[in-house]
Structure formats: structure tokens, C-alpha cells
Amino acid sequence: MENNDKKQIRVAVIGSGLAGMSAAHLLSQTGGVDVTLFERNPGLGMDAGSIPVPCECADCVSDADTLDGQSEVSPFKVDSPHYNGRIDVPMRSFFPGYYPYLTSLYDALKIPYSQSDNSMSFFQMAIPPKDPTQLFNSPTSYPTKLDPINNGNEKSELDQPRNVPQPSYFSFSCWKLPYPVNNFFGVPDLPPLQLLAQGKVGEFLKGCSNVVEVSRDYLRFLAYSVDLLDSGVIDQAKRGNGPLAGLTFGQIIKKLDYSDAFWSVFLPLFSGACTCTFEDLKAFPAHIILEYAAVCLPDDKMSFVTCGTKEVCARLASPVQNICYSTTVVGIEHNKATNQFTVTSVPTAEAHAPIHENAVAHIFDYVIFATQANQASRILSATQTGHSKESAANSLYTDFVSRATQILDKFPYTKSLVVIHTDPTLMPASRNEWRCLNFGVPSKHTKNHADTIGLQTSHENGYNADSLAMCTHYSQMTQTEVPGSVPPLFQTTNPIAIPDPASVISATWYERALVRLDTLEALRELEKVQGGGGGVYFVGSFVGDGIPLLESCVTSALDAAKGIIKDAFKDQHASRLYLPPGMIEKVELHAEKFINIGLTLGIVQLANRFELERPEFVPYLRMAYFTTQLLALSVTYFIRTKITEKNDKTVLVFTEAKSFLEPKNVETVTTTVKDYDLKKTNEAFQQTGMAILMMSVMHFQFGYIRPLLLQAVMGLRAVATTQLFEIYIMGKPAVGPLARPWKKGMFDQTGPAATPKEVKNLEKKEQKKKLVKGE
């Protein structure tokens, strides 16, 4: 019998985006696993398009360019002596509620991130006669730079009158609420009062009407999405069942009788979030967009990584011993006798040469494709047409390759262009209207949402300016490391107008997976071939049941790593696999989520079977809901009396961030177990009160009935699964996951409790401070 403790396996990871680096990071820290990471670019793929921002020291400031005979500081000169951070390309923002595994990975790596201003504006842009992308190299490499226009000797045919900025037709600002909320709160902006002074009363009243309509329909859409999520309808759709199964978001748009003002805001917002055309957005499965809205919109806590993706890459790559840069994999063969793979790689510069003179063969036990689906398909197809006789005789592997390529080819991609520039004409007309995210919409598509429903399909090559919502990120509102001497810096995704070529700093093309109804079936098929062919896995943003974002990169990498450990070491639960502490909690919460889903679906089936939503049952449902909430409050009050009786004065010392927005600004908290637990009961009272208030609005204002039954059960379950309940009611010791302090949520930066020895040291330091102050 093989000794698994001494067994050593080799794993090839192709691609160093977030998915590949996450898989390599987890496996490299697992005993008995040797990982080699292949990256075709000179640097790690996740950071390939980012640009450096220099500091303001004397050496950097003195390093100047000469433009038009005048000496000016070049804030982005490549050979500047020092750098003060990086601008991530594409923009790396995320909602922790929708990205729980990504957030846990960042927490484990101690990646700093903070809640960001989430303000937005929406304005019209005239479509230029020339395609903006003609300014830039075709998307054949990543990243690409600005293509010089006629070397400046002749007037370019692309030269045209400058863009004319337009005022925003809707915007909202974010206000930071004070302690204890410490959260940004979005508020729609009223039209400027100057309109009244200019006698434009009708325009002012129209603006006020738009604010009312957008706010009203936003609440309606939010209640609709949350109800579908809480009732289990969205989870049913993920499995191909229920009323949402087979529906596209375009069909939902037609079903919902919302105002044109609302759709003129919501459609550009989600088109920009998914970096796709309006037509592609319409083709998304309805439940995917509705789930994103239900999870992200109520939370409204958009976050940015404050250190940049370069630092994220460095920390993910730190345990990976073998990284092959500027190396392209051109073939993979499987040896049936040894059950191993031969991976052939060449220098990227020679990848397209007819003869690979410098090809190198590597032997591996498992292969992880951390590339786009279309790239993985190309590599496997090349393998299929150019395999050796030995590999050709392996019918199981060739059948796997044939099946896998058929599935991978079902995942469509769209090309997007990201331009870093300093041209303000791609922003709203007035600087007072500039927001963190600014969405420019082709003029003809802002009149009514019927126009957006009938848009033409995007070009096969992926770029169609008159069907896009241009999103411009005003970097100074989130990138705190940008020096004050740097002019306003913009990152525009999918420009529908041409930025001034002289203002362009860099341009990068990238591809993003699209989700359609047929790709959901492809995902189910892909799941069946994972690990097939002797041990081939596919990871990436497209391997997930939501919008193709960074969260799917992490979850698919985790699934692939677990699959390899289970197969290689006969470890049924993959307990051997290294998992960061925060991710272990997420895995446990993932199992808890399935329990909640099971309960939710059971309640929904019960409601459907007995028709509990009939009017005669509504009073009983109300009684059941408010009774269970009263019971939950009573249990919390009983726990509070137990805390008071126990009167545990044990000193508890830990560190926590002063606010969500300042995770680096931590303070030392000294309290007692009694005071800490009493504080938690106060938070429980507040949460239950807010839940009752929200449910009352949803039921009495909007007429939702099913959530009453769901929350009557789930509310009690929520109380019964708290740490306080397990300690004071179930009598469990406060160790392991029950050890204080407890995490409050995704943004919580609370550190572990200090040991008795550390408490004594802290007390000595405090005494010394008092002596110095003469107290």
C-alpha cells in the first residue's frame, strides 16, 4: 500500500491570473505537492495591465519631459526613480457580500482594502464617426500600448473636433454616516438650483421627477430581487427549475413595468459592471443579474484593494517555487502507462514559429488550465492534432480532449478596451458632476428603455461603440496614493468617444466571458469532465454560476485543488489541502448555506402545496412571523440575563479597525467578557429590530407574503446559530470558532484576543505612559 504521507505529486498550472495563482498558492503550501506555474507574459498575468504611479520626491519631480517646448513633469514616466503605488487595470472593485471567498483570501494574505465612495453619474455622449478603437493596436497581445498616429508628421484621418462634454442626466452622491454606522450612504442628487435662476423651471421639475421615479423603482426592483433570493427561486433557477429557469434578463425588463428614468440608470450601470453591450446584458440569464442586485445593492459597500494587484500577486506567488515567465504551453500529451502528462513549453517569442527549436518537455501528474475557455480549447486542440502515436493510442484521453474542447467552445467572450488618460471630455460637463464612476451612454439610447431592448447584437470581434455604456473611473476618488501633482486621472472602459491621443497614458485590451442560457448547460457539462483525461482541471471566472468575476476564480481554484488532493492522496474530504484560516470559515459557511437553501426550498414547497399565500392565511402568517420575532428577542434577553448572572470579569484585549473605511487604522480594545457579550446582545437587538422594520415595509407597503413564512423560520435559526446561543444556551466552551472576539462581517479587521502574557505587557506599557505623563 502506498504511503500517502511520503507521496509527491507534480502539478502544472497554466496561467497566472487570479484563478491560477490561487490554485498555485493553495497547492504549494500543501505537503507533497510540487507546483509549476506557466505564464506567457514577462510578469504575472493578474497585474499585466497595471501602471505605476511615481511619488513626489525631488528625484521624481526633476525627471521631466519636454512638451511643446515647455518643461513639464511626466507623472507616468516609466523610468521614474520611485513609485507610489499602481493603477490597477482593469479596475479592481468588489462587493464583499458577493465575493466571500475572495474576501477571505485577501484577509488571509493581509491584503488591505477599504470601502469606497460609490457615487455615480450618468450622461450622454455623441458617438464619433470613427471607431475609437482604431487608435489602438488590435487586441492580439496583453497589454498593448497606444499606437502612434502617423508619427506626428501628417494629420491623422482620425483627427476630429474635440468631444463636447454633456451634463449628467442623473447622479447620486455618497455620504459617510458617522459612528457607529461608519458606512457610505448613496443619495440621489437633485437637479442644480441654477436651473431655477436661469428660468428653466420645466427642466428642474423634470429632474426632480426623475429622482422620484428612479428612487421608487429602485426600491421596487430591490424588493423584487431580494424576495426571489430569499424565497429560493434564484437557487431553483441555478438548477434549471422554477419560474426564472430559461428566462433572460431582457424578458424580465419587458415584464417589469418600471419607468424609463430607472432603466436609463440601471441598464448602463449593469452594462458597465459586466463590461458588455446592452444586447449581451439582455441575453444574461435573469437569475444571475437579479442575484447580483439582491446581494450587492442593499449592502452598497463597494471596496477597493488599497495596495494594488501587484502586491496581491506578490503575496499569492510567494510560496510558489517554480514560475516560468515568458513561457507558452504549446502541447499536452497523456501517457496511459504512467498516468502522467508531458507538457511542452516554448519561449513566448517563439510560440508562433513553425518549428519550436527551444521546446522543453515537463512531466506532471495533474494539469490545471487557468486560462480563458477559448485559450484552453486552442491548446487542447493543438494537442489533439499534433499528438504522438503513444498519445493517439490513448483513446480515453483523446475522447476527453474532444469532449472538453466542444464544451469550452460554448463559452463566448467579448473584448473590452481600457484606456488610462487625462482627458476630461469623457466626463460630465461640469466638474461638480464628476463622481467615482461616470457612465457615458450613446445619446440615442437614453430616451427610453425600448431603444435599449432593441439594440443590435454586438460585433463578432467584440466591440460596438453604439451599443456600449462607457464607464470612466475617476481614480483620485479611490486611489489615495496618487500624488496631488498628478492631473485628474481617468480609467475609461469601453470608450464610446475618442480621448485626446496626447492624454493617453496606456491602453489595454482584455476579454471577458459572457453568460447566456446555453452557457449554463455548458457549465454543467464542464463540471462532469473536471479531473478527466487523467487529471485535467479548468478554472477561471467563467467556471461559476454568477457573473464572471473574481469570486469564480477563487472558488473554481479551490474546487480544483480539492479535487487533486482527493484523487492523489485518496483524501475523501481533502483535509490535507492547505486552507487559510478565513477560507476554512468560508468553507464551513458554504456548507451552512446549503442547509439554509434546503430549508428555504422546503418552506417554499410547503407554501405551494398548501397554498399558504391565499388571503385567508395571511393573518396567520403575520401572527407566526411576529411571534417568532418576539421569541427571538426573548431568547436574546434571556441570554443577556445569563451574562449578567455569570458576571465574567476576565480581561479581553484585542485590536480592531476604528471604522470600515480605515482598516489600517486599528486600535487596541480592552474590555471584559461580560461587557463584550452584553455589547453583542445589543447588536442582536438592533439587527432584529431592523429586520422587523424591513419586513414590515416589504409586506405592508409592497405586498410580499412569502418572506413572512421564510423569515418566521429563518429568523429563529439565525438566533440559534449565534455564538452567544451556543455558549450560554448549549453550554459549549468559548474555544475554537467560539473564541472571542468574533468577526462582525466581511469588513471586520478584528485581531485575535491577546494572551494573558500579552495582557500583562500591555498593562505595563499603559503604566509607563501614565508615569511619563505624570498621572
Its domain, for residue 694, covers 582-770
Task: Inform me whether the pLDDT recorded for 736 exceeds 70.
Answer: no
DSSP structure class, residue 192: P
Find where cell 463622481 sits: 435
User: Looking at the domain assignment, is residue 111 inside a domain?
Assistant: no
Q: Which residues contact 538 (CB under 8 A, 6 or more apart)?
A: 368, 369, 373, 376, 404, 408, 526, 530, 556, 560
User: Looking at the domain assignment, is residue 129 inside a domain?
Assistant: yes
Share the mean pLDDT of the chain.
Answer: 76
Q: For the ranges 52-56, 124-128, 242-246, 649-653, which has the lowest average pLDDT? A: 52-56
State the pLDDT confidence band at 698, using cuts at 50, 70 and 90.
Answer: confident
Structurally, the chain folds into a number of domains equal to 3
Task: Inform me whether the pLDDT recorded for 522 exceeds 90.
Answer: yes
What tens digit of pLDDT does each residue of 447-474 get? 333 333 333 333 333 445 557 788 998 8
User: Within 10 Å of residue 566's Cβ, how many Cβ atoms?
Assistant: 17
State the pLDDT confidence band at 372, using cuts at 50, 70 and 90.
Answer: very high
Q: Which residues contact 524 (CB under 8 A, 6 or more apart)?
A: none
Residue % of the chain over a pLDDT of 70: 71
What tens digit of pLDDT does each residue of 407-448 get? 999 999 988 888 888 889 899 988 888 988 999 888 754 433
For residue 547, the one-letter residue type is I
pLDDT of amino acid 146: 36
φ, ψ at 360 (rounded to 5°): -125, 135
Residues 379 and 525 in one domain: yes
Residues 487 and 527 in one domain: no
Using the 3D structure, point to which of 513, 548, 564 is the last residue of a domain: 513
Mean pLDDT on 272-283: 88
Residues 236 and 128 in one domain: yes
Residues 154 and 271 in one domain: yes
Q: Rounded CA gap, 262 and 670, in Å?
A: 48
Mean pLDDT on 555-566: 94
User: Looking at the domain assignment, is residue 61 inside a domain?
Assistant: no
Q: For the ranges 100-109, 510-519, 601-610, 677-686, which has the lowest average pLDDT? A: 601-610
Task: Inform me whether the pLDDT recorded for 286 exceeds 90.
Answer: yes
Residue 538 cell numbers, joined: 479548468
Task: Inform me whether the pLDDT recorded for 557 exceeds 70.
Answer: yes
Task: Inform me whether the pLDDT recorded for 39 exceeds 90.
Answer: yes
Q: What is the DSSP string of 716-769?
A: HHHHHTSHHHHHHTS---S-GGGSSSPP-STT--PPPPPPHHHHHHHHHHHHHH
Q: Rounded CA gap, 754 and 656, in Å?
A: 12
Sign of CA dihedral 77, 82, 88, 93: negative
Query: Which H/E stretch holds residue 234?
Result: helix 233-238
Residues 134 and 201 in one domain: yes
Give me the half-sphere count of Cα atoms (radius 13 Å) on the Cβ side of residue 136. 30
Q: Rounded CA gap, 705 and 697, in Å?
A: 11
Q: Rounded CA gap, 63 and 644, in Å?
A: 66
Q: At CA 549, angle to CA 28 and CA 277, rounded to 5?
A: 150
Find where cell 486542440 sits: 381
Residues 618 and 718 in one domain: yes
User: Looking at the domain assignment, is residue 127 inside a domain?
Assistant: yes
State the pLDDT confidence band at 354, using cuts at 50, 70 and 90.
Answer: confident
Residues 377 and 443 in one domain: no
Residues 428 and 534 in one domain: no
746 versus 321: which is more confidently predicted?
Answer: 321
State the pLDDT confidence band at 91, using cuts at 50, 70 and 90.
Answer: low
Q: What is the DSSP string of 123-163?
A: EEEPPPSS-GGGGB--TTSSSB-BPPSGGGTS--TT--PPP
User: Looking at the domain assignment, is residue 224 inside a domain?
Assistant: yes
Residue 285 cell numbers, joined: 440569464
Q: Residue 758: left if φ>0, alpha if ψ -120 to 50, beta else—which one?
A: alpha
Residues 180 and 268 in one domain: yes
User: Looking at the domain assignment, is residue 69 inside a domain?
Assistant: no
Residues forming beta bridges with residue 508, ordered by sequence position: 418
Residues 343 and 429 in one domain: no
602 versus 445: which is more confidently predicted?
Answer: 602
User: Looking at the domain assignment, is residue 707 inside a domain?
Assistant: yes
Using the 3D structure, point to which of 477, 492, 513 is the last residue of a domain: 513
Residues 283 and 206 in one domain: yes
Residue % of the chain over a pLDDT of 90: 23
Report the CATH number at residue 320: 3.50.50.60
Task: Inform me whether the pLDDT recorded for 110 exceeds 80.
Answer: yes
Using the 3D structure, point to which of 489, 513, 537 is the last residue of a domain: 513
Residues 444 and 590 in one domain: no
User: Looking at the domain assignment, is residue 80 inside a domain?
Assistant: no
Q: Rounded CA gap, 772 and 736, in Å?
A: 39
226 versus 37: which is more confidently predicted?
Answer: 37
